[in-house]
Amino acid sequence: MTTVLTYAALLVITGAAWAHVVWMALTDEMAGMDMVMTPTLVDALAFVAAWAVMMAAMMLPSALPMIGLYAATLRTEPHAAPGSAPVALFTLIYLGLWAATGLPMYVASVGLSAIASDTRAYGVAAVLVVAGVFQLSPLKQVCLRRCRSPLGFLLGHWQAGWRGSLALGWSHATYCLGCCWALMVVLVAAGAMGLLWVLLVAAVVAAEKVLPGGEWIARATGIALLVLGVAIVARPGLAMTLRGV
């Protein structure tokens, strides 16, 4: 019953996050996240808050197997804290780390927007090439294997008690960040966080982590990013087309 309630609660949170992301796109709020601006604390906090909601929408679906298995495992753990608090703590640590990445993404977005438009395309191309190389790297595969095997992760990292929930949440979030950071940078640099790009990146993240052959999906995505980066070098105008999608 606890596992079912956990899944239900996470699905409600995910649905609410996606509803907010779609609402932001329809009201052009997401466009404001990519405008040229002088960095201020208020703007940074607003960006990080919007980014946190977007990360909840994008990352929770692929984290459901891990969180659900953790909830189920706690039912058989004699020294586990009562109720759903450990699962909530695990989830908050996971989402908290992703929310924290909003600050460097804000800085990157401001920096990219400040670059002259005639040279910005080459910055976008460089991001795509770096992301493509990472998708093909051994480090990507190491992190992805941890994300694709919830049972193996829990067996290798299990710790009881509140500190265990903190450590497990942090470890899982770190591997997930190591697996997906490049795709999030692509979302900011190439996609300007447009709704179609958010949907595309979220779909790739979920496919890599959940579908059979996820390792090959990651490699195919890497090749596609490399090809797109080279194409932008050849035709810089393509960068603005991508950022307008």
DSSP states along 38-72: ---HHHHHHHHHHHHHHHHHHHHHHHHHHHHHHHH
- As given in the structure block, the two tokens for residue 106 are 């804000």
Inter-residue contact 202 to 126 (CB < 8 Å): no
Distance CA 95, CA 172 (A): 11
Of the segments 108-112, 189-193, 209-213, which one has the largest average pLDDT value? 209-213
Of the segments 70-74, 217-221, 238-242, which one has the largest average pLDDT value? 217-221
Range of lowest pLDDT (131-145, 171-185, 192-206): 192-206
Closest C-alpha to 188, from 28, 44, 59, 30: 30
What is the reported pLDDT for 110? Answer: 83
Flag whether pLDDT at 4 surpasses 60: yes
Distance CA 159, CA 55 (A): 26
Mean pLDDT of the chain: 85
Mean pLDDT across 198-220? 94
Give the residue with greater pLDDT, 165 vs 57: 57
Domain range annotation of the chain: 2-243
- This prediction has a pTM of 0.87
Distance CA 114, CA 230 (A): 23
Give the residue with greater pLDDT, 213 vs 32: 213
Mean pLDDT across 41-66? 90
Task: Please report which residue ranges of 115-149 form alpha helices under DSSP H.
Answer: 117-135, 138-148
